[in-house]
Every structure is written in C-alpha cells, then in structure tokens.
Amino acid sequence: MNDLHQAAKRCLDASDPAEKLRLTHETWQALQIGDLRPGDPASAAAPIGAPGRPAKPQLVSARQVPQRGLGSAEGRAALVHAVAHIEFNAINLAWDAVHRFRGMPDAYYRDWASCAHDEARHFALLSTRLAELGHAYGDFDAHNGLWEMAEKTAHSDTARMALVPRVLEARGLDVTPGMIERLRHAGDERTIAVLEVILREEVAHVAAGTRWYRWCCERDGIDPFDTFFDLLRDYLGVSLRGPFNRPARLEAGFVEAELDRLTTLATTDRNPRFADTECSRC
C-alpha cells in the first residue's frame, strides 16, 4: 500500500487501541521515508461514520458523565481517563483529516499525520498513568463531542479546520493549566508531568489548524476573521466558553482581535462541570 489516504483509513478503522497506535506510528514512519504519498485527488473519501473504537468506554451525553473531585485516586483516574479519551478521538480526527480532504498540499497531509503520531504517543502516556492508578481505558463513561463535530464538518475542510482544532481542541489549551494546578494541590506530580507534555505539544496541533484554516480561506477568497465567527455562530450558537489561555492561543496562531471578540462572545462558567468544561474536547 502506497496510498496515504488508504493508509489513513486503515488507521481510522482500527478498533483495538494497541492496533490503532501501531498502525499510526507505522504510517507516520512510512510517510517520513517516502513510502506513502497522497492518492488521486479526484478520488472520493468514504462517507463519514463512527471511527474504529473499542466497545468501551460507553458513550453518553456530556451531562451524564459523573462529576468527580481530584482529592481521591478514583477522581484522578477519571480525569486521566477523560483526557485519554480526548487523545484517542484526536488520533481519529487527524487521520480523518488526511483521509477525507483530497487535493491538499503535501504539507497538509504531513501536518495531520504528524499530529496523529503525537496523539497516539499522548494516549500511550495516559494509558500508562491510568494503569498506575489501577484502571484502563474504557473503565469510565465518556462523551463524543469531538467526533460529532467531525461528522458535522465532513463536507468542508474550511469548517473542519476552523471548528475542531481552533475551537474544540484549543479548549484544551485553556483548561489544562487549571487542571495541572488542581493536581498539584492533590500532590499528583506523575499526572502533571504527562499533562505538561500534552499541553506543550497541543499548541502545535492548534497552530496546524490555524495554518490550514487560513489556507482554505485564501484558496476560496473569503475573509478568515469574519468566516471564523460566522462558523462559530452557525455550528455552536451561544455555547462557546471562556476564559481563554491568551499566550498559548497566540502561540497557536490566533490574533489579538480574534481573542478579544471570543472573550466578548463567550460565557465564563465559574463553577465548571468536570465533563463539560475541563474535558470539553473529549
């Protein structure tokens, strides 16, 4: 197999986490050495459906995910599980971006294959930490907000780049520092070490979303600033949440004017629900 789109679909369809990670790393390495190339840009991607994933965790609505404090090992395990679920979804999202959108520059496919590789490594780190806490992926319920947005944006690379990396995944930049601070109060330095790696590397993933969103806008002759807020309104209405991690978002390619407007539009939940806010990417 030398068609990158087909290889991405194979990664996307793998349901066993260990197999998905193996295929992801194998595909990234093959792309790096030139054994894989984007296929025919006129070929069509498969219609979007549920990605490959194990039978557990059970997927429920965000409001059904139990609230848990971080003062207990069980609560910290639930947090690690929620972030692991985010990263598992992010592997699928990155490979779907490679598989679905054809005729893009080679650098686009390299960026998202690299993101998939990173997300797989993050998932492995979190799985190891979860095992140390006496649990495994699938032990807690989770929700499906990230993939639901992937389905809604499957028809448009512009909408996908705007709303998945720059809204849902960017939320991780906002909330992870607070999670780290709460874990520090709980004395959980091992989980903090994992989250610090993820936070640092997720800036580059959001930056890739910014870069390719603006590329799409330039291709289509549309204004990236106004279009971003039109897409927010059309897909998310008034559900956007703050506050925002301005330094991290600026590093990820946001501009001050965007952050000012986001701050004006967003609601700030001063008593956030565990599942809805701190793990809003999952």
Domain locations in the chain as residue ranges = 4-33+54-278
Tell me what percent of the residues of the chain surpass a pLDDT of 90: 82
The strand pairing partners of 266, in sequence order, are none
Note the pLDDT tens digit of each residue in 59-78.
987 776 767 778 888 999 99
Task: Select from 123, 125, 108, 171 the least CA-distant residue to 14.
Answer: 123
Label residue 188 by pLDDT band (50, 70, 90): very high
Instruction: Name the DSSP class of 151.
Output: H
CB count in 10 Å sphere of residue 235: 15
- 209's tokens: 């979303």
Check residues 50 and 68 and name the one with the higher pLDDT: 50
With H, G, I as helix, E, B as strand and everything else as coil, classify residue 167.
helix
Instruction: Name the DSSP class of 50.
Output: P
Instruction: Name the DSSP class of 54.
Output: -
111 Cα distance to chain centroid: 14
- 159's tokens: 């909408």
HSE (side-chain half, CA atoms, 13 Å) at 52 = 19
If residue 80 lies in a helix (H) or strand (E), which one and from where to where? helix 73-100
The answer for residues whose C-beta is within 8 angstroms of residue 42's C-beta and 6 or more apart is 102, 103
Label residue 239 by pLDDT band (50, 70, 90): low
- Per-residue confidence (pLDDT) for residue 60, from 0 to 100: 86
Label residue 276 by pLDDT band (50, 70, 90): very low
Yes or no: say if 170 and 87 are a contact pair by the CB < 8 Å rule: no
Q: What is the CATH number of domain 4-33+54-278?
A: 1.20.1260
Yes or no: say if 131 and 26 are a contact pair by the CB < 8 Å rule: no
Q: How far apart are CA 278 and CA 76, in angstroms?
A: 13
With H, G, I as helix, E, B as strand and everything else as coil, classify residue 187.
coil
- Per-residue confidence (pLDDT) for residue 1, from 0 to 100: 64
